[in-house]
Amino acid sequence: KAEAKVEINGSKYKTDSWFNTPPNIIANVPRRLHLQKDHPVYITRQIIESVFPGPTYKYHNTFNPVVTTQQNFDSLGFPKDHPGRAKTDTYYINESTLLRTHTSAHQADTFRANLSPGYLISADVYRRDEVDRSHYPVFHQMEGAHSWDRNSVPNGDVAAAVWSDVEKLPTHDTKVEDPNPPFHAERNPLQSDHHSAAEAEAIGAHLKRSLELMVVEIFTRAKAAAKKADPNFVDEPLKVRWVEAYFPFTSPSWELEVYYAGDWLEVLGCGVVQQSLYINAGVPNQLGWAFGIGLERIAMLLFNIPDIRLFWSRDERFLNQFAGVSDNLDTLKRFDVSFWLKATSSAGGNAKQANKHDFHENDVMEIVRGIAGDVVEDVKLVDQFTHPKSGRKSMCYRINYRSLERTLTNAETNDMHDRVTKALVDELGVEIR
Q: Provide the binding-site residues for ligand PHE, judged by CB under 6 A.
A: 102, 104, 143, 247, 250, 269-271, 290-292
- Residue placing its CB nearer to ligand PHE in the complex, 218 or 408: 218
Least Å distance, CB 276 to ligand PHE, is: 14
- Residue placing its CB nearer to ligand PHE in the complex, 117 or 226: 117
Cβ–Cβ < 8 Å for 125, 140: yes
Residues near 140 by beta carbon (within 8 Å), at least 6 away in sequence: 33, 34, 41, 45, 122, 123, 124, 125, 294, 295, 296
Query: How far is C-alpha 36 from the chain's CA centre?
Result: 19
Least Å distance, CB 138 to ligand PHE, is: 14
Least Å distance, CB 395 to ligand PHE, is: 33
- Residue placing its CB nearer to ligand PHE in the complex, 247 or 359: 247
- Residue placing its CB nearer to ligand PHE in the complex, 40 or 144: 144
Residue 113 to residue 358: CA distance in whole angstroms: 45
Least Å distance, CB 76 to ligand PHE, is: 8
- Residue placing its CB nearer to ligand PHE in the complex, 147 or 421: 147
Least Å distance, CB 271 to ligand PHE, is: 5
Least Å distance, CB 272 to ligand PHE, is: 9
- Residue placing its CB nearer to ligand PHE in the complex, 74 or 366: 74
Strands 376-386 and 393-401: antiparallel
- Residue placing its CB nearer to ligand PHE in the complex, 267 or 372: 267
**What is the identity of the amino acid at 359?**
F
Residue 72 to residue 80: CA distance in whole angstroms: 12
- Residue placing its CB nearer to ligand PHE in the complex, 126 or 397: 126
Cβ–Cβ < 8 Å for 385, 339: no
- Residue placing its CB nearer to ligand PHE in the complex, 206 or 333: 206
**What is the identity of the amino acid at 125?**
V
Measure CA of the first residue to CA of the last residue in the chain; give whole Å.
67
Instruction: Give the ranges where 33-115 is alpha helix by DSSP (H).
Output: 40-51, 69-72, 107-113
Least Å distance, CB 100 to ligand PHE, is: 10
Please report, to the nearest 10 degrees, the dihedral formed by the alpha carbons of residues 338, 340, 345, 348 taken in order: 50
Residue 231 to residue 340: CA distance in whole angstroms: 43
Nearest-CB residue to ligand PHE? 292
Q: What is the 3-state secondary structure (H, E, C) of 392-415?
A: CEEEEEEEEECCCCCCCCHHHHHH
Least Å distance, CB 292 to ligand PHE, is: 3
Least Å distance, CB 294 to ligand PHE, is: 8
Q: Is 29 helix (H, G, I), strand (E, B) or coil?
A: helix
Residues near 95 by beta carbon (within 8 Å), at least 6 away in sequence: 16, 17, 18, 69
